Amino acid sequence: MSFINEEVEQYLTQLMPIEDPLLYKIQQEGLAQEIPIIQVPSIRLIQLFLQMIKPKTIIEVGTAIGFSTIWLAQAAPDATIHTIERKASMAAKAREHFRQMKLDKQIILHEGEAIQVIPTLPQADFIFIDAAKGKYKEFFHLTFPLLKVGGVFVFDNVLFRGYVADPTIAETKPMLRKIRDFNDFIATFPKLSTSFIPIGDGLAVCYKTEE
């Protein structure tokens, strides 16, 4: 769900349609089953970042059915992607989708809790976080040492349907308070250059300037 005007969202989506029929089928499967998957305008922007950065290693926290992972792999064909999913049922669907898209050799799916898997991963040029929103700060502290200087973080859902902008609503929901706290944290973190982009459900894009 997006907080952007529905007509604008539809306009942006039709400007950038999913051309691959199998990827479109995966998207529709996710929507039909109410599985949270990234909006197309957001992942198109992330693809653009990847095409400019040309990363060799990508870490993704939050695979779900693999929809966003496939976009990452297609945008960075020379990269190895380490993606983490804690739910066995989701991981099984993602593996099948990677096989169908012929990306299973490029993508390494780690099944388990992110806090346990992250410390085992290699350094990366690009890290995409799209998992439990209330744990974003924890995920950040675990992944920050893995991101190379000059690398980029992207966090999805940081505006959470626009609710985080209203303190009266945010104060009633612990998760919204955590997202607001996380946004304040990365906005002022001294070793990052950060911007917030109101597209999809809100992206935070962070460039690592120093260790």
**38 labelled binding-site residue:** yes
Write the Ramachandran bin of 193: left for phi over 0, alpha for psi from -120 to 50, otherwise beta.
beta
Exposed, middle or buried by CB within 10 Å (0-12, 13-18, 19+), for 128?
A: buried
**156 labelled binding-site residue:** yes
CA separation for the pair 158, 202 (Å, rounded):
5
**127 labelled binding-site residue:** no
**68 labelled binding-site residue:** yes
**81 labelled binding-site residue:** no
**Binding-site residues, please?**
38, 68, 85, 113-114, 130, 156-157
**Binding-site residues for Mg(2+), please?**
130, 156-157
**Binding-site residues for S-adenosyl-L-methionine, please?**
38, 68, 85, 113-114, 130
